Amino acid sequence: MLKGRVLEQSNALPFTFTFLSETSVHFRVMVDTDVHACLCGPLPLHDDLKEMLDSNKDALKLEAMKRIVAMIARGKNASDLFPAVVKNVACKNIEVKKLVYVYLVRYAEEQQDLALLSISTFQRGLKDPNQLIRASALRVLSSIRVTIIVPIMMLAIKEAASDMSPYVRKTAAHAIPKLYSLDPEQKDQLIEVIEKLLADKTTLVAGSVVMAFEEVCPERIDLIHKNYRKLCNLLIDVEEWGQVVIINMLTRYARTQFLNPNINESLLEEGGGGDKTFYCSDEDEDEDEEKEKQAEVSALAKRKPYVMDPDHRLLLRNTKPLLQSRNAAVVMAVAQLYFHLAPKAEVGVIAKALVRLLRSHSEVQFVVLQNVATMTIKRRGMFEPYLKSFYIRSTDPTQIKILKLEVLTNLANETNISTILREFQTYIKSMDKDFVAATIQAIGRCATNIGEVRDTCLNGLVQLLSNRDELVVAESVVVIKKLLQMQPEKHSDIIKHMAKLTDNIQVPMARASILWLIGEYCEHVPKIAPDVLRKMAKSFTNEEDIVKLQIINLAAKLYLTNSKQTKLLTQYVLNLAKYDQNYDIRDRARFIRQLIVPTEKSGALSKYAKKLFLALKPAPVLESPFKDRDHFQLGSLSHLLNAKAGGYQELPDWPESAPDPSVRNVEVPEWTKCSSREKRKEKKVEKPFYSDSEGESGPTESADSGEFDDGSESVSVSVESGSPSDSEESEESSESDEDEEEEEKEKKKKKKEIKQMQASESRARSKPDVSFQTIAPSSALKNYELLHRITGEGLSVEYCFSRQAFSPDANMVAVQMHFTNNATSDTKNLHIEDVKLQSGMRVKEFAEIELLPAGEATTAVMGVDFCDSTQAANFQLCTHTRKFFVSIQPPVGELMRPVFLTENEFKKEQSQLMGMNEISENLTLDAKCRNEHAIVQRVTTAANLSRVPCGSDKECRFAGKTVTSGSLVLATVATKDEGAAQLTVNCEKMVIGTMLVKDLLLALTQ
């Protein structure tokens, strides 16, 4: 009490006191709390800190919080400061705030009522314009384990799941498992959020949401279907931790959805047989019969040979590069995926990567070797080339040595056994005795598995019997016993040798083994066996239990074979056993006495005693402890422990027949691959702006379309009104008669150009890979000026959107440039430089034009991926002397390509693009444009759409797809009386829709 008073006084000097409490840290915790309890009450201890927290200086607060956090870190109780700390939750200083968060999360569970005081601050934080603050508010809010706020958390998560910032959405994904562990009843609502976030297209979110999926609803594999391909494609860009989780989940998914690639290798051959009959039937003269057969055979062939689902292939292909990851967990995840899913021939690729991991930290080695050990049992060939990488160094930790030994043993076969045994010989000399024992076991296993070396191994082991180290000898005895059981006749001298060892060896297991051997094969050593029993009877009372049991066994067996010499000894041993402390031994003695010593009461069994004891026993099979471990998913904790860990998801067996693969089809194949990794990423980051949050997308998009005027000074959009002059039938679009009539081309240009245009067009058209789904361009081409001949000093450039598929890259819009050299001198080296683009956009430049002589003209085609936006592509057009800043800006109508739809398809698609995606306008048609023909004419001129056949003559329908993302664009013009009409555009991309409506209105009303 006195001491307490002294300390309380010292509270007046806060710093001295802190010093005292600092030093006490160095005691063990137990002492620590005792000291507190007896010296001072828990409360006055932190008065100084409270004062500092209550002050209005941030520096003091910060200092106090730092000390409190240090206390928490040391595991000391700081919960009594809760009220003082929680007041500072709204502190302006961000570091104080963060530390308060740390404190709150740690103690909120214990002080639920007080913790509620802070909730409103977080709710405010959730609305902050700074995404970091929004995210961290959500993080803390969801980390406070207070059941009362579950509804608030739920609301916050739902809101954050549709936040603009992918970082906040990621935080929302993290919050889902937190809420789930707090209140599992929210599962259904959380699954909805997970479903929504799974559809997210950013790499940032993908890993976190799959993690949430695994924790909340791993059984809802159906949620993955629609996102499967996206996840596969995103995988390489997801952060490494997310990759691990996604790969593990996809492994399980693939096991439920695809067929075993290894199951019907034999069936494949049968399929080949089927082919043969197919060729035979070729010779058949009767055509009908042949057709029948053909159909039959092809049906058969369809069913039988294994064809890998393209989605299965996609997964294997996209995960393979990750074997090169620097993160061992990722490499392991891919390795297990290949092990569980890949066809036999392809699994080999993982061996090299796994061997590489053996260079890593010893903990990593430990886990990898465990998995390699399992793999080597199933697929030995895979690791055989890397045998030497598993050789053991004296510096390896013992647990690594033993695992390497396991792998070496599994890899042993007839061809490499001699090198392996030579290696084992050096190991036996190691100083690490546990390791030597394991090596002896390994030699034993090699000897049982490979018959050729059995005798060599046995001899080697017998030599070890004279080793000075008892452990080594004992282990050898145990292994020799197992080996001898296979062929005892030949080795009676070894048995004799071992009998002599009983005097020296003290290890119980070894003694027991020797006694068992002598008993079992007492007929081979008739003279020695009774003597051994005699010695053992003498030392019986001092032996270990397992040895005692074997002495009884030995006595019984000798009694049966050689009762003359051993009758008394046996009686003696049995009597000793009768009074043993261990009941097992007493039981055994009683049982054996009844069985072997004939009395008048003894039953029928004693007649068979000899048969019972000296029956031929099967030799033990030495098996790897890793056998059958592969029913656990490799790389998992459960596999490592060889026991099911909590939350482990079984790896399902392959299905008999594959479930419907079409479930993975996504309506709009918006996932487009780009060649460069960066570009792809940029796009991904951008996407959510368009597709995710409907509420917020409005303003963003209008901002988009507002940026028309990026320095496009030299572009004058000269719209020349087209009139039909020349009709041309396009080759690709011969779907319906109606179509052909209307798909006329109109051209009105300077005479000089026409020839060249046609020439270049025919060149473009003759290119082989015109996309199948799209339909040829169907209206006249408008020319836009890129460079006026005055600014261009004689060089004038015009461009038009040729509406051809741009063959090097299907996602690009082909821009046809027409260069005319009006100057008096030649222009050389015409090329593009310094392309300035909005993110995601790409340009495929035209090949450099080396020479454009004076007065001549030429054309070139370049490709631009506008990313479905009307932003201009700015670049410099360079000649050998000058550079001109120019830009190409596409009218919205050129950002799409026609698509052929039937009327029904059109209606179906349209019905899916209602609501926000539909824009309608009423208009009065231009006087010249009141008939169907003219309408079609004008619409197809303004936008690269194709006509959709229609039953009613009051309606004209058009369909197309945006070039980059392939979103459908549907347009309908419904005519009414007196030139009134209604224009409807349905498009997922609302910006495109709105702009297209504007353009079409203009085209139809003027």
Partner 1 sequence: MIHSLFLVNASGDIFLEKHWKSVVSRSVCDYFFEAQERATEPENVPPVISTPHHYLISVLRHRIYFVAVIQSEVPPLFVIEFLHRVVDTFQDYFGVCTEAAIKDNVVVVYELLEEMLDNGFPLATESNILKELIKPPTILRTMVNTITGSTNVGEQLPTGQLSVVPWRRTGVKYTNNEAYFDVVEEIDAIIDKSGSTITAEIQGVIDACVKLTGMPDLTLSFMNPRLLDDVSFHPCVRFKRWEAERILSFIPPDGNFRLLSYHVSSQNLVAIPVYVKHNITFREGSSQGRFDLTLGPKQTMGKAVEAVLVSSQLPRGVLNANLNPSQGTYTFDPVTKLLTWDVGKINPQKLPSLKGTMSLQAGASKPDENPTINIQLKIQQMAISGLKVNRLDMYGEKYKPFKGIKYMTKAGKFQVRT
Site for partner 1, residues 24 to 53, rule: CB under 8 A:
28-29
Q: Is 244 in the site for partner 1 (CB under 8 A)?
A: yes
Q: Is 109 in the site for partner 1 (CB under 8 A)?
A: yes
- Residues 713-732 close enough to bind partner 1 by CB under 8 A: none
By rule CB under 8 A, what count of residues binds partner 1? 105
User: Which CB, 389 or 492, lies closer to partner 1?
Assistant: 389
Please give the torsion angle defined by the CA atoms of residues 329, 333, 336 and 337, in that order, rounded to the nearest 10 degrees: -170
Q: Three-state SS for 144? A: coil
Q: What is the Cα–Cα distance from 14 to 595, expressed in whole angstroms?
A: 85
- Residues 171-200 close enough to bind partner 1 by CB under 8 A: 171, 174-175, 177-178, 181
Q: What is the Cα–Cα distance from 590 to 1006, expressed in whole angstroms?
A: 115
The least CB distance from residue 942 to partner 1, in Å, is: 36
- Site mask for partner 1 (CB under 8 A), range 386-425, x = bound: --xx-x-xxx-xxx-----------------------x--
Side-chain-facing half-sphere of 396: CA atoms under 13 Å: 24
User: Which CB, 394 or 922, lies closer to partner 1?
Assistant: 394
196 and 176 Cβ atoms separated by less than 8 Å: no
Of the residues 94, 299, 345, 568, which one makes contact with partner 1 according to CB under 8 A:
94
Q: Which stretch binds partner 1 (CB under 8 A): 87-95, 113-121, 614-622, 829-837?
A: 87-95
Q: Is 364 in the site for partner 1 (CB under 8 A)?
A: yes
Q: Which stretch binds partner 1 (CB under 8 A): 46-54, 55-63, 690-698, 785-793?
A: 55-63
The least CB distance from residue 362 to partner 1, in Å, is: 6
The continuous run of DSSP H or E covering 703 comes out as helix 694-706
Q: Is 62 in the site for partner 1 (CB under 8 A)?
A: yes
Residues 6+ apart with CB under 8 A from 907: none
Side-chain-facing half-sphere of 911: CA atoms under 13 Å: 5
How many other CB atoms sit within 10 Å of the CB of residue 567? 14
User: Which CB, 88 or 827, lies closer to partner 1?
Assistant: 88
Structure tokens at 182: 């707090």
Q: Is 685 in the site for partner 1 (CB under 8 A)?
A: yes
The least CB distance from residue 647 to partner 1, in Å, is: 3
Q: What angle do CA 831, 837, 841 make, to 5 degrees?
A: 100
Q: Which stretch binds partner 1 (CB under 8 A): 72-80, 281-289, 490-498, 957-965?
A: 72-80
Of the residues 189, 290, 306, 366, which one makes contact with partner 1 according to CB under 8 A:
366
- Residues 304-323 close enough to bind partner 1 by CB under 8 A: 321
User: Which CB, 29 or 851, lies closer to partner 1?
Assistant: 29
Which DSSP state fits 710? S
Q: Which of 132, 121, 168, 133 is nearest to 696 (CA)?
A: 168
Structure tokens at 241: 């931790």
User: Which CB, 341 or 896, lies closer to partner 1?
Assistant: 341
Q: Is 681 in the site for partner 1 (CB under 8 A)?
A: yes
Q: Give residue 984's identity as a one-letter amino acid code.
A: T
- Residues 117-176 close enough to bind partner 1 by CB under 8 A: 130-132, 135, 139, 142-143, 145, 165-167, 171, 174-175
Distance spanning both ends of the chain, measured CA to CA = 100
Of the residues 21, 248, 778, 941, which one makes contact with partner 1 according to CB under 8 A:
248
Q: Is 328 in the site for partner 1 (CB under 8 A)?
A: yes
Which DSSP state fits 413? -
Of the residues 329, 405, 781, 1004, which one makes contact with partner 1 according to CB under 8 A:
329
Q: Is 208 in the site for partner 1 (CB under 8 A)?
A: yes
Residues 6+ apart with CB under 8 A from 300: 274
Instruction: Please give the radius of gyration of the chain, using alpha carbons only, rounded to the nearest integer.
Output: 42
For residue 972, with 0-12 CB atoms within 10 Å meaning exposed, 13-18 middle and 19 or more buried, which class applies?
buried
For residue 459, which phi and psi values (nearest 5 degrees)?
A: -60, -45
The least CB distance from residue 167 to partner 1, in Å, is: 6
Q: Which residue has the tokens 């050729």?
A: 452
For residue 68, with 0-12 CB atoms within 10 Å meaning exposed, 13-18 middle and 19 or more buried, which class applies?
buried
Q: Is 240 in the site for partner 1 (CB under 8 A)?
A: yes
Structure tokens at 234: 């995103």
Structure tokens at 625: 């402890």
817 and 799 Cβ atoms separated by less than 8 Å: yes
Q: Which stretch binds partner 1 (CB under 8 A): 88-96, 409-417, 712-720, 773-781?
A: 88-96
Q: Is 333 in the site for partner 1 (CB under 8 A)?
A: yes
The continuous run of DSSP H or E covering 697 comes out as helix 694-706
Q: What is the Cα–Cα distance from 345 to 324, expressed in whole angstroms?
A: 20
Of the residues 127, 677, 752, 880, which one makes contact with partner 1 according to CB under 8 A:
677
- Residues 452-511 close enough to bind partner 1 by CB under 8 A: 467-469
Q: Is 883 in the site for partner 1 (CB under 8 A)?
A: no
Structure tokens at 446: 């090699």
Residues in the chain: 1006
The least CB distance from residue 103 to partner 1, in Å, is: 10
- Site mask for partner 1 (CB under 8 A), range 424-443, x = bound: --x--xxx------------
Q: What is the Cα–Cα distance from 399 to 438, expressed in whole angstroms?
A: 11
Q: Which stretch binds partner 1 (CB under 8 A): 219-227, 329-337, 540-548, 825-833?
A: 329-337
The least CB distance from residue 47 to partner 1, in Å, is: 21
For residue 467, with 0-12 CB atoms within 10 Å meaning exposed, 13-18 middle and 19 or more buried, which class applies?
middle
Q: Is 98 in the site for partner 1 (CB under 8 A)?
A: yes
User: Which CB, 93 or 994, lies closer to partner 1?
Assistant: 93
Q: What is the Cα–Cα distance from 436 to 442, expressed in whole angstroms?
A: 10
The least CB distance from residue 675 to partner 1, in Å, is: 8
Q: Which stretch binds partner 1 (CB under 8 A): 40-48, 204-212, 292-300, 906-914?
A: 204-212
User: Which CB, 684 or 957, lies closer to partner 1?
Assistant: 684
The least CB distance from residue 461 to partner 1, in Å, is: 16
The least CB distance from residue 978 to partner 1, in Å, is: 54
The least CB distance from residue 387 to partner 1, in Å, is: 9
User: Which CB, 402 or 457, lies closer to partner 1?
Assistant: 402
Q: Is 832 in the site for partner 1 (CB under 8 A)?
A: no
Q: Is 241 in the site for partner 1 (CB under 8 A)?
A: yes
User: Which CB, 212 or 814, lies closer to partner 1?
Assistant: 212
Long-range contacts of 766-770, Cβ-Cβ distance < 8 Å, separation of 24 or more: 767/804, 767/805, 767/807, 768/807, 769/805, 769/807, 770/732, 770/804, 770/805, 770/807
The least CB distance from residue 394 to partner 1, in Å, is: 4
Residue 677: alpha-carbon gap to chain centroid: 18
Q: Is 601 in the site for partner 1 (CB under 8 A)?
A: no
Of the residues 326, 564, 673, 751, which one makes contact with partner 1 according to CB under 8 A:
326
Q: Three-state SS for 613? A: helix
Q: What is the Cα–Cα distance from 191 to 196, expressed in whole angstroms?
A: 9
Q: Which residue has the tokens 């695994």?
A: 214
- Site mask for partner 1 (CB under 8 A), range 636-655, x = bound: xxx-xx-x-xxxxx------
For residue 900, which phi and psi values (nearest 5 degrees)?
A: -95, 125
Q: Which stretch binds partner 1 (CB under 8 A): 39-47, 70-78, 529-537, 885-893?
A: 70-78
Q: What is the Cα–Cα distance from 686 to 887, expressed in whole angstroms?
A: 23
The least CB distance from residue 212 to partner 1, in Å, is: 9
Of the residues 152, 209, 353, 536, which one makes contact with partner 1 according to CB under 8 A:
353
Q: Is 635 in the site for partner 1 (CB under 8 A)?
A: yes
